[in-house]
């Protein structure tokens, strides 16, 4: 097959046809606000962006009031002039639909559109993201403004694609509990359960006299005199995810009809678990995530955690791996990349010299096909007036200006073959929204949190540098040597069958406490735990123990040799029915009982980690198990260095990313060429603080 016969994805064709970037290059742009900038500066801005090497901007996602100053009266003249100027300078345009911030005339006329939070309070206008995803008037008006934009700009030169809305659900309230959502939820339940008898049985509504005799009686899980039915609460999370996805798809359907040559996406914060990202991006052209590493630094300090460049780096990588995985390994885009101090009331710090470049390469190393920096010029007004961009308040160049210009130049020179190469993962980490939601409803321990567990496990296994896909619970496991599934609390029969077949076929499955406790309808299984996986794990859970003041500890068998580990929040007490014991509890009434087991099934292994291990022990255990599964790091590197490997045919590139401020030595076993400098690299190489090398086998 010749290169010209390969059908490029829609985003690549859109970019190439607009002439802003040759086919095969990646998008390197900036988020721009002509609506907030005097028109006299647009020409200068566009010229400077062009000099920076940018291929595109994203604009207009918060400009509803300017585009529709009163209901049904549309004014796109200013936007058209901005697009023309940008296009003249060869800058492509991604248009944002503005539904995240309705204008005051709309709020005043239709106060029913306001979201109701978990305390039953109605949000007020004045900020952004205060609207209900179900409300039919809000949906109709959101679709109307997006449709008018599509009519106006569907054929406009320079427009290459669309971003629907902005950071869905990311506001002061992550869920809406209004009357419209209640009615929407009831309709969704009619489709899901068909009959009331089925719904009542599935939720167990006989408890506390909650048997429903009409779908219209079903409440939303607002404050009551006791906790809601767990089945109802889990379904409400699913409904809210669905409502946001279907809201997005209304605009998508219209855009597909009216702008068939444009790509369409929406941007999100990857590690926010309010919407099932696989559902959200299923029909969109690619996933687009926003990346603000400085916030993790700020959050760790707030939580009293010691500074950790490794912790921040792996949290970012987890987001990137999720972004790539939600579309089955397809390239993703960073729609907003931190370029300066960022935040509204308090600010993440200015990135150190080299960090913005490093974060850009980190995204590309994990499979990004585009990076847009946030934002071009820094606003002098509004809630985000301290959210620093590439130009300062006085339009002088920010500390990252030259660094970004250099990075764009380097990436353009890197070439299509590297940028389009594949990220191949040997390991998978299951990310299950049902488990995250069900554990928020009933964590069992106040400090037990699904996202924390997933992040800890990702941090531990990423140290092997062999690639991690972040997969849905019922995904195909066959491409992987080892699959990790922490807190697999809700287990479907389909998922259990896939795990069994994966282990029988020679894979290693590693999981931990709270395994298989719940059915998909959030009832507890009627068999001994771990329910559907009892045979494959080769254990029965004799008891499950939340831990507060009476701390426990574990002693490891030789296979996992190391100092005794702490057991922090939880202990599943394991009774082997065929599995080998790899660690035992040492304290209290369960001293001597099994804490970690490994079962052999067919040619594979199933490992149950019953104890909530301290970080160092968890890292050692997961690394040891990875080694048993045949995982070998491509290079031995010190902490703070991240590696990713990209492949195309028999060619291979190793991205070496130094997340620390100091130079680090890495031993390389053969001769490579550093594509960024063209230099030959061999033996022991020094990677500068926040430095990057892209090594190609010589």
- Give the residue with the Cβ less far from Zn ion, 174 or 176: 176
Q: Which stretch binds Zn ion (CB under 5 A): 78-86, 181-189, 267-275, 526-534?
A: 181-189
Site string for Zn ion, 80-99 (x = CB under 5 A): --------------------
Least distance from C-beta 227 to Zn ion, angstroms? 21
Residue 27 interacts with Zn ion (CB under 5 A): yes or no: no
User: Min. distance of Cβ 184 from Zn ion in angstroms?
Assistant: 7
Q: Does 181 bind Zn ion (CB under 5 A)?
A: yes
Among residues 68, 115, 167, 337, the one annotated as catalytic is 167
From the list 25-33, 124-132, 436-444, 556-564, the region that binds Zn ion by CB under 5 A is 124-132
Strand order in the sheet with 641-648: 422-423, 641-648, 651-658, 692-697, 664-674, 680-687
Cβ of residue 132: shortest distance to Zn ion, in angstroms? Answer: 3
| Buried residues in 16-31 as b, exposed as e (16+ CB within 10 A) | bebebbeeebbbbbbb
Q: Tell me the closest approach of the beta carbon of residue 529 to Zn ion, in angstroms.
A: 37
Cβ proximity to Zn ion: between 130 and 180 the closer is 180
The question of whether 155 is a catalytic residue gets the answer no
Please identify the residue of the shown chain whose CB is closest to the bound Zn ion: 132
CB nearer to Zn ion: pick between 137 and 557:
137
Q: Which stretch binds Zn ion (CB under 5 A): 83-91, 168-176, 639-647, 688-696?
A: 168-176
Among residues 394, 152, 386, 139, which one has the least CA distance to residue 250? 139
CB of 120 to Zn ion, least distance (A): 12
Q: Name the residue nearer to Zn ion (CB basis): 132 or 533.
A: 132
152: three-class secondary structure by DSSP: helix
In the bound state with Zn ion, the residue whose beta carbon lies nearer, of 167 and 403, is 167
Asked if 176 touches Zn ion (CB under 5 A), the answer is yes
Please confirm whether the linkage preceding 536 is cis (ω < 30° from 0). no
Nearer to Zn ion, 37 or 131 (CB): 131
Stretch that binds Zn ion, among 13-21, 177-185, 345-353, 581-589 (CB under 5 A): 177-185
Interaction of residue 178 with Zn ion, rule CB under 5 A: yes
Shortest distance (Å) from residue 197 CB to Zn ion? 28
Provide the 3-class DSSP secondary structure of residue 181.
Answer: helix
Instruction: Report how many residues bind Zn ion under the rule CB under 5 A.
Output: 6
For residue 146, give the 3-state DSSP assignment.
helix
Provide, rounded to whole angstroms, the least separation between the CB of residue 166 and Zn ion.
18
Q: Give the residue from 656, 647, 667, 641 showing the smallest Cα distance to 693.
A: 656
Cis peptide before 13 (omega within 30 of 0): no
Tokens of 139: 């949906």
Residue closer to Zn ion by CB (options 247, 374) is 247
Q: Determine phi and psi for 677, rounding to 5 degrees.
A: -115, -15
Longest Cα–Cα distance in the chain? 76
Q: Which of 61, 68, 115, 336 is catalytic?
A: 336
49 binds Zn ion (CB under 5 A): no
Q: How far is the CB of 338 from Zn ion (least distance, A)?
A: 31
Q: Which residue is associated with the tokens 């669905």?
A: 242
Cβ atoms of 645 and 626 within 8 Å: the answer is: no
Residue 166's Cβ-count burial label (10 Å; 0-12, 13-18, 19+) is: buried
In this complex, which beta carbon is closest to Zn ion, that of residue 123 or of residue 264?
A: 123
Q: In what order do the strands lie in the sheet with 263-265?
A: 263-265, 159-163, 92-96, 56-59, 27-31, 368-374, 332-338, 288-291, 267-268
Round to whole Å and give the CA distance between 284 and 448: 34
Using DSSP's 3-state secondary structure scheme, residue 66 falls into helix
Q: Applying CB under 5 A, which part among 7-15, 35-43, 178-186, 674-682 lies near Zn ion?
A: 178-186
Cα separation, 227 vs 236, in Å, equals 14
**CA 684, CA 214: separation in Å to the nearest integer?**
72
Per CB under 5 A, the segment of 59-67, 130-138, 197-205, 262-270 that binds Zn ion is 130-138
- Taking the C-alpha atoms of residue 20 and residue 27, their distance in angstroms, rounded to an integer, is 9
CB 666 within 8 A of CB 641: yes
411 and 364 in contact (C-beta within 8 Å)? yes
Q: Which is nearer to Zn ion, 143 or 557 (CB)?
A: 143
Which residue's structure tokens are 């998978």? 428
Residue in 66, 132, 196, 490 binding Zn ion, rule: CB under 5 A? 132
61 is catalytic: no
693: part of which helix (H) or strand (E)?
strand 692-697
Q: Is residue 174 a contact point for Zn ion (CB under 5 A)? A: no
134 versus 338: smaller Cβ distance to Zn ion: 134
Burial of 295 (0-12, 13-18, 19+ CB in 10 A): middle
Minimum CB separation from Zn ion for residue 186, in Å?
Answer: 13
Q: Which residues bind Zn ion (CB under 5 A)?
A: 132, 134, 176, 178, 180-181
**Residues with catalytic annotation?**
167, 336
């Amino acid at each position: 097959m010749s290169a010209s016969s390969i059908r490029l994805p829609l985003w690549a064709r859109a970019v190439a046809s607009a002439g802003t970037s040759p086919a095969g290059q990646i998008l390197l742009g900036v988020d721009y606000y002509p609506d907030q900038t005097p028109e006299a500066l647009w020409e200068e801005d566009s010229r400077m962006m062009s000099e920076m090497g940018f291929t595109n901007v994203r604009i207009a996602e918060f400009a509803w009031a300017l585009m529709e100053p009163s209901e049904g009266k549309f004014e796109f003249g200013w936007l058209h002039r901005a697009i023309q100027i940008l296009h003249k300078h060869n800058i492509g345009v991604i248009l944002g639909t503005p539904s995240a911030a309705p204008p005051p005339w709309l709020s005043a006329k239709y106060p029913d559109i306001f979201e109701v939070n978990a305390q039953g309070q109605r949000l007020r206008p004045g900020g952004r993201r205060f609207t209900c995803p179900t409300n039919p008037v809000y949906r109709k008006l959101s679709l109307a403004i997006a449709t008018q934009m599509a009519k106006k700009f569907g054929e406009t030169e320079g427009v290459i694609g669309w971003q629907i809305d902005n950071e869905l659900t990311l506001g002061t309230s992550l869920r809406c509990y209004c009357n419209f959502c209640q009615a929407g939820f009831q309709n969704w339940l009619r489709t899901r359960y068909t009959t009331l008898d089925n719904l009542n049985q599935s939720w167990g509504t006989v408890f506390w006299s909650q048997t429903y005799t009409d779908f219209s009686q079903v409440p939303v899980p607002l404050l009551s005199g006791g906790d809601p039915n767990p089945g109802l609460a889990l379904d409400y999370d699913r409904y809210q995810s669905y409502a946001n996805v279907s809201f997005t798809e209304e605009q998508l359907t219209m855009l597909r009809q009216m702008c068939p040559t444009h790509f369409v996406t929406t941007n999100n914060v990857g590690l926010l678990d309010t919407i099932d990202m696989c559902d959200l991006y299923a029909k969109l052209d690619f996933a687009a995530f926003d990346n603000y590493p400085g916030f993790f630094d700020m959050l760790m300090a707030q939580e009293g955690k010691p500074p950790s460049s490794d912790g921040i780096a792996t949290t970012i990588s987890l987001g990137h791996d999720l972004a790539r995985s939600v579309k089955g390994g397809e390239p993703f885009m960073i729609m907003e990349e931190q370029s300066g101090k960022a935040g509204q009331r308090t600010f993440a710090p200015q990135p150190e010299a080299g960090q913005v470049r490093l974060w850009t390469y980190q995204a590309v190393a994990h499979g990004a096909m585009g990076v847009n920096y946030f934002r071009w010029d820094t606003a002098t007004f509004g809630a985000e007036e301290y959210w620093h961009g590439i130009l300062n308040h006085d339009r002088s160049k920010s500390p990252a200006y030259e660094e970004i210009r250099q990075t764009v130049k380097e990436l353009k020179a890197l070439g299509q073959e590297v940028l389009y190469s594949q990220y191949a993962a040997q390991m998978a980490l299951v990310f299950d929204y049902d488990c995250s939601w069900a554990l928020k409803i009933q964590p069992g321990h106040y400090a037990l949190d699904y996202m924390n567990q997933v992040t800890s496990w990702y941090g531990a296994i990423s140290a092997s540098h062999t690639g991690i896909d972040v997969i849905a619970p019922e995904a195909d496991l066959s491409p992987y040597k080892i699959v990790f599934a922490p807190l697999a609390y809700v287990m479907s029969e389909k998922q259990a069958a896939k795990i069994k077949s994966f282990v029988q076929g020679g894979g290693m499955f590693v999981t931990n406490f709270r395994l298989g406790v719940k059915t998909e309808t959030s009832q507890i299984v009627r068999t001994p735990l771990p329910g559907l996986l009892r045979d494959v794990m080769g254990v029965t859970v004799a008891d499950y123990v939340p831990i507060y003041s009476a701390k426990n500890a574990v002693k490891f068998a030789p296979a996992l040799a190391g100092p005794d580990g702490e057991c922090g929040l939880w202990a599943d007490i394991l009774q082997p029915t065929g599995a080998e014991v790899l660690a035992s509890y040492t304290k209290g009434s369960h001293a001597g009982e099994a804490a970690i087991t490994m079962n052999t099934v067919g040619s594979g292994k199933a490992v149950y980690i019953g104890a909530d291990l301290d970080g160092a022990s968890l890292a050692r255990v997961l690394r040891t198990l990875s080694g048993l599964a045949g995982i070998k790091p491509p290079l031995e590197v010190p902490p703070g260095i991240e590696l990713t490997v990209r492949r195309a045919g028999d060619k291979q590139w190793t991205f070496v990313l130094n997340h620390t401020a100091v130079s680090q030595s890495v031993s390389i076993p053969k001769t490579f060429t550093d594509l960024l400098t063209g230099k030959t690299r061999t033996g022991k190489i020094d990677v500068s603080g926040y430095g990057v090398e892209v090594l190609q086998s010589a």
